[in-house]
A and B are shown apart, each in its own frame.
Chain A
Amino acid sequence: MNAEIRHIKTSAETGLAQEFAAARAKLPGQGAVAALRDTAFARFDAKGLPHRRVEEWKYTDLRALMRDARPLAPAPDQAGKARAAKAGQLMSDVDVCRIVFADGVLVPELSDLVGLEPGLSIRSMAQALGSADPLVARHLGQVFPSDDAALALNTALMGDGALIEISDGATMSRPIHLVFATVSETPVAIFPRSLVVIGKGARATLIESHEGPDAVGHQCNAALELIVADGAEVEHIKLTTGASETLHISTLMASLGADVRFNSFAFTTGLAVVRNQVFLRFDGAGTKAGIRGASLLRGKQHADTTLVIDHAQGGCESRELFKSVLDDEARGVFQGKIIVRQHAQKTDGKMMANALLLSDDAEADSKPELEIFADDVVCGHGSTVGALNEDLRFYLMARGVPKHEAESLLIQAFVGEAVEFVADEIVRDALMEAAVRWLAERG
């Protein structure tokens, strides 16, 4: 059937509308920010929750996965803050500038906000929204205009987040680690929104980690806008961990200037439903970007990586590599789209998605797209789905490696092919350790 029938609102959609109506006056920001929220909500309301008939959400049907809307999180209490203090353990070996958010709210007493490196400024997004900050006015919602319904929902309900500015030429010696911990013991919804503006020729590493407590079904819809000016070098790591029942949607919007070196890596082992959206645009020539990731999933976990890589300017190079390891009844989704605009000649784009199925009930869906309007380009994509190679396993077992260990080694190697692109050695080791721990739990 091709007939489109306007659906009856689901209870989640009605719930969200009620939340928005109730919270509208209390949410930070007036004037332009309030107007931005209203238009965003109207856009969401018109579209409803994305479902499988919406091409970009084909494999992640939010209408089915999000049965009802959780209430907006109240400010965290002391117990909550104490739990947040323990979050972000995965990066415990790395010397970082740590910024902690409990239930989406910046907790200054847990964050390294004083004595920041020269050229670095970190502020609370909620405060910036409330005080009509010029940086917010200039960039918020402008980095990658999109009519994505989940993003619209974040814009409508955005609470706190980080507003980071790195001045031209500044080099950050420590990675900036944004720790988003959901700590409430009852299910809540959080909508963190961050904006990072990196100046010309600056160098920085940005780590985002999202985690939640076990067995509480939170809803997190986070968005990060990133502007990288000409000649800057930026490394972005996103960690999604924890064994919770949380539904997590995250949108990274990035605009890259000329001659930028940008690497993003998404590492996912946790949460029940994860959707990582990356919308990236090349706004200057000579830029190289690597968008990579690895997810290790088990149980009934569902992780979706959706990329839109827009080569709006020529002479840029993009590399995408995603690895997913799927056990039990887990489902891994990869949707990647490389767009090459008509004048973006000399574009070089390569996209690869590999899925490893460890169980008969696991499912991998992959949709690598190319949309090319320029002729002088080299673009390619590849995608594979398969089980562990019997021959390799046999080879190892023939040399006395027990079956389970042999499999672990092969899976490590598989994930390692993507992790090795993480530039920071300590971060890389931490990620590999996390992968090894995941394998040890495999039993």
Chain B
Amino acid sequence: MAAVQETVEQVRLIDVDQYKYGFETVIESDKAPKGLDESTVRFISAKKGEPEWMLAWRLEAFKRWQTMREPTWARVEYPAIDYQDLYYYSAPKKNPALKSLDEVDPEILATYAKLGIPLREQEMLAGVVREDGSVPSRVAVDAVFDSVSVATTFKAELMKSGVIFMPISEALREYPDLVKQYLGTVVPVTDNFFATLNSAVFSDGSFVYVPPGVRCPMELSTYFRINEKNTGQFERTLIIADKGSYVSYLEGCTAPMRDENQLHAAVVELIALDDAEIKYSTVQNWYPGDSEGKGGIFNFVTKRGDCRGKNSKISWTQVETGSAITWKYPSCILRGDNSRGEFYSIAISNGRQQVDSGTKMIHLGKNTTSRVISKGIAAGKSQNTYRGQISTHRKATNARNFTNCDSLLIGDQCGAHTVPYMEAKNSSTMFEHEATTSKISEDTLFYCQQRGLSAEDAVALVVNGFVKDVLQQLPMEFAVEAQKLIAISLEGSVG
């Protein structure tokens, strides 16, 4: 019992002071006036130099949004958001004419350096070996600072193989037809309250197009950073994997520590055509608020992938450790025959965090398969909910799904909940779902401690084993980072 008591005690003592990305960078920024009305939408569109159809699209979304109400079905509680008290656009000044990384505000570069993000492509291209002997990994990065993308690396090299990787605002100018063809086809403008808001005011995000038969030569990555006070971040990511192509994409998110809550409402759309594969990984580490639940990011994200072609595959992997509120359901529409959807998730909540996350697998094509592995760890006074839906259409013969969601509770003040929905409309459907909730067994801890591990190490060992299934799915560069993040999030309880 002592070990558990200690753990509980430690968890109580953990403060989010350990959030090491909580610094703020002082940079002059260019903001839209506070509040949201039609002129804000026009302002953002004009700032981006968007084509006329895009403005019309945004205005349509804004009109629709005004008729919608915030959804309340998720198991999260938060004070009402005043949508008029936010800045919808904030950009570091002097942004437009960037020709090379050298012109980026050194403050921003310093910020990313602090975050440990390898922006300096020159260094990598030169094959520099650092003093400590490590070779910088080859990951193309798009860094989004508040509302705009500040730097995209490896662009030229990617171009050689035909891969387009650039801020979506740039893509709208350079490849308007491509964007127009796919934007909003997975998450329609009218999809839900937050997605509609995003459609009206999104400012930047990444755009990826992988041409037919190309295997993207390196990992693509985006780092999102909310810096300004009172700003909402609304990014939009659109990834298209054309026939027979492959791409792996990672995103990471951080924000400064602030007393007030900040809003993040992103939309991610993935489209996989015939035989294509997209692997999308997220390490979400927004500021979670302090131990009393003050501050922190409200994370309302709509992520959806469309396996549009035959034999296509979309895989979501997420490690969720941050945000005061997480409302996020990366989903797959399995439209193409023989397509496959995967969802691997680790959601860790501590302090007063509230997580309501899960997935939707919608089986429409024939012989489609999906796999859902979700691991939730709740500590402190947090609430951690898995909410998922698996459905088969009448004509979706031989659909298969396997779902496994396990929850681990650390301390008796937290809650873990599972809300799965299974809807089978075809007799050849095979759905299997299992879920368990438990605490770390005394026997296991005793066994480890008997062999000389400290109580903390024993818990760490068990937790690592618990999430291993998911960590294995992350690209190597991220797996290490994610593992560290898990340790930080549960520090005190897992050592």
Contacts and interface: CB of A to CB of B under 8 A. Distances in A.
Interface stretch (A73-81, A378-386, A415-423): A378-386
A391 interface: no
Interface stretch (B68-76, B120-128, B175-183, B205-213): B68-76
A141 interface: no
B415 A379 contact: no
Contact of B437 (A342, A360, A367, A379): A379
A372 B415 contact: yes
A363 B429 CA distance: 10
B148 interface: no
Bin the interface of chain A by size.
35 or more
A365 B422 contact: yes
A376 interface: yes
B435 A381 contact: yes
A344 to B, nearest CB: 10
Given A372-B417, A372-B437, A364 B193 contact: no
Nearest to A53: B73
B259 interface: no
Contact of A369 (B411, B417, B423): B417
Interface in B448-472: none
Interface in B406-435: 407, 409-435
Interface string A325-347: 00000000000000000100100
Contact of A359 (B427, B433, B437): B427
B438 interface: yes
Interface in B38-94: 67-71, 73
Contacts of A345: 412
Contacts of B69: 2-4
Contacts of A395: none
Given A2-B71, A2-B193, A3-B69, A364 B422 contact: yes
A340 to B, nearest CB: 8
Given A382-B433, A382-B435, A385-B431, A375 B410 contact: yes
A375 B193 contact: no
Contact of A355 (B70, B411, B424, B438): B424
A363 B412 contact: no
A110 interface: no
B173 interface: no
Contact of B420 (A360, A368, A376): A368
Contacts of A383: 420, 422, 431-434
B415 A384 contact: no
Contacts of A387: 427-430
A364 B73 CA distance: 23
Nearest to A342: B412
Contacts, number: 128
A382 B411 CA distance: 25
Given A371-B415, A372-B437, A375-B410, A365 B429 contact: no
B238 to A, nearest CB: 24
B6 to A, nearest CB: 14
A369 B423 CA distance: 14
Contacts of B5: none
Interface residues of B, number: 42
A4 B69 CA distance: 8
Interface string B270-284: 000000000000000
Contacts of A342: 412-413
A384 B420 contact: no
Contacts of B418: 368-370, 381
A374 interface: yes
A7 B431 CA distance: 36
Interface string A1-16: 1111000000000000
B100 interface: no
B421 A365 contact: yes
B192 interface: yes
B380 to A, nearest CB: 12
B379 to A, nearest CB: 10
A373 interface: yes
A403 to B, nearest CB: 16
Contact of A358 (B67, B427, B436): B427
Interface in B380-416: 394, 407, 409-416
A342 B409 CA distance: 12
Given A383-B431, A385-B429, A363 B423 contact: yes
Nearest to A340: B437
A385 B424 contact: yes
A425 B431 CA distance: 33
Given A1-B68, A382-B433, A377 B424 contact: no
Contacts of B190: 1
B435 A368 contact: yes
B173 to A, nearest CB: 33
Nearest to A327: B427
A300 B481 CA distance: 54
Interface in B337-371: none
A105 interface: no
B68 A380 contact: no
Given A2-B69, A376-B439, A386 B409 contact: no
A369 B193 CA distance: 25
A100 B428 CA distance: 43
A269 interface: no
Contacts of A369: 417-420
Interface in A376-406: 376-387
A342 B411 CA distance: 11
A391 to B, nearest CB: 13
Contacts of B70: 2
A383 B73 CA distance: 23
B431 A367 contact: no
A316 interface: no
Contacts of B430: 384-387
Contacts of A379: 436-438
Contacts of A376: 412, 439
Nearest to A334: B422
Given A358-B427, A364-B424, A370 B438 contact: no
A370 B431 contact: no
Rank and list the top 5 A-B pairs by shortest CB-CB distance, nearest first: A357-B427, A375-B409, A385-B431, A380-B436, A370-B418
Given A370-B437, A371-B415, A383-B432, 14 more contacts: A1-B67, A2-B70, A2-B192, A4-B69, A342-B413, A359-B427, A360-B428, A369-B417, A375-B409, A375-B411, A376-B412, A379-B436, A380-B434, A387-B428
5 contacts: A1-B68, A3-B69, A4-B69, A374-B409, A375-B414
Interface of A: 1-4, 55, 342, 345, 355, 357-387
